[in-house]
């Protein structure tokens, strides 16, 4: 199974800040890396697919980059509704996997 | 409206068995690969299992291999997760999710159920 290491596990930020979350895969997963946002009591929602493709309806302040083993999620000008937990997920192998998550707190 | 609705779950003793169901509607269920994902209370998401469109190919996380079985009934538009030899550490919210594939977007989860709590405790 392909392990994903996400960092940091949590971070504190303020409205208007720019933050970056990283995700590292144990092996080359090309661009098969997705990012999800999850709020308490809710199912996750996809933000970015294929490392850098912004999903329809997702604000442009979210962006993703990377390929191979190293990936980043950047949120520019953090908004109050962005305080949530973020997960990376790989869809490269037959068995999928998630990173451990990054909780973004005020 | 595209929708996934889980049912089943609840409280079970260690070593017991349970079956989760996921009813799909609003899309052609038989054309979609499907998954189960779980989330222990207060913890992160964990991928559990995956099944192809006709149920002939299945994949599992190592933690559930040999104990859990994913299956589907395309005539009933329903996905299942049979769980046996349950352990306390299997306690989690279980989500069913649809797999999406796009040429430019790759593979990801595009539709999720609301989740169902399974508690394994004596």
The yes-or-no verdict on residue A84 having pLDDT over 90 is yes
CB contact under 8 A, A50 and B95: no
- Chain B residue with CA closest to A6: the answer is B44
Does B110 contact A at CB distance below 8 Å? Answer: yes
Does A101 contact B at CB distance below 8 Å? Answer: yes
pLDDT at site A12: 97
Who contacts A69 (Cβ-Cβ below 8 Å, separation ≥6)?
Answer: A24, A25, A26, A27, A28, A29
pLDDT at site A1: 87
Which of B35, B44, B108 has the CB atom closest to A46's CB atom?
B108
Give the tokens for residue B96. 């069913």
- Chain A residue with CA closest to B114: the answer is A43
Q: What is the pLDDT of residues B59-111, one digit of tens each?
A: 999 999 999 999 999 999 999 999 999 999 999 999 999 999 988 888 999 99
CB pairs below 8 Å between A and B: how many?
69
pLDDT at site B75: 98
CB contact under 8 A, B105 and A49: yes
pLDDT at site B104: 81
Mean pLDDT for all residues in chain B: 97
How much is the average pLDDT of B3-22? Answer: 97
pLDDT at site B88: 98
Residues of A in contact with B99 (CB under 8 A): 91
Does A52 contact B at CB distance below 8 Å? Answer: no
Whose tokens are 């490269």? That residue is: A92
Cβ(B13)–Cβ(B120) under 8 Å? yes
| Sequence-ordered strand ranges (E) for B1-122 | 3-8, 10-12, 18-25, 34-39, 46-51, 58-60, 68-73, 78-83, 92-102, 106-112, 116-120
CB contact under 8 A, A44 and B104: no
Cα A73 to the chain's mean position, in Å? 5
The yes-or-no verdict on residue A103 having pLDDT over 90 is yes
Which of A43, A53, A94 has the CB atom closest to B95's CB atom?
A43
Q: What is the pLDDT of residues A5-37, one digit of tens each?
A: 999 999 999 999 999 999 999 999 999 999 999
pLDDT at site B102: 86
pLDDT at site B106: 86
Whole-number Å distance between alpha carbons of B112 and A77: 28
Which residue out of A3, A85, A88, A91 would a mutagenesis test of the B interface target, given it has the greatest number of B Cβ atoms within 10 Å? A91
The yes-or-no verdict on residue B35 having pLDDT over 90 is yes
How much is the average pLDDT of A67-86? Answer: 97
Which residue out of A96, A97, A103 would a mutagenesis test of the B interface target, given it has the greatest number of B Cβ atoms within 10 Å? A96
What is the pLDDT confidence band of residue A106, given thresholds at 50, 70 and 90? confident
pLDDT over 90 for what percent of chain A? 98
Does B46 contact A at CB distance below 8 Å? Answer: yes
């Amino acid at each position: 199974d392909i392990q994903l290491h996400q960092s940091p596990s949590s971070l504190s930020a303020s409205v208007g800040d720019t933050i970056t979350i990283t995700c590292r895969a144990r092996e080359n997963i090309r661009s098969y890396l997705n990012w999800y946002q999850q709020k308490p009591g809710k199912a996750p929602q996809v933000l970015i697919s294929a490392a850098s493709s912004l999903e329809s309806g997702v604000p442009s302040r979210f962006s993703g980059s990377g390929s191979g083993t190293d990936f980043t999620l950047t949120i520019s000008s953090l908004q109050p509704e962005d305080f949530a937990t973020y997960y990376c997920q790989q869809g490269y192998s037959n068995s999928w996997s998630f990173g451990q998550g990054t909780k973004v707190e005020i | 409206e595209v929708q996934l609705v889980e049912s089943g779950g609840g409280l079970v003793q260690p070593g017991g068995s349970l079956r989760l169901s996921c009813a799909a509607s609003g899309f052609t269920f038989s054309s979609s690969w499907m998954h189960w994902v779980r989330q222990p209370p207060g913890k992160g998401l964990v991928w559990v299992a995956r099944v192809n469109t006709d149920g002939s190919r299945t994949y599992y996380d190592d933690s559930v291999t040999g104990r859990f079985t994913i299956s589907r009934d395309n005539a009933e538009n329903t996905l299942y997760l049979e769980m046996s030899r349950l352990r306390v550490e299997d306690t989690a919210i279980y989500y069913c999710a649809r797999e999406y594939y796009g040429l430019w977007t790759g593979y990801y989860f595009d539709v999720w159920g609301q989740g169902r709590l399974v508690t394994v405790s004596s």
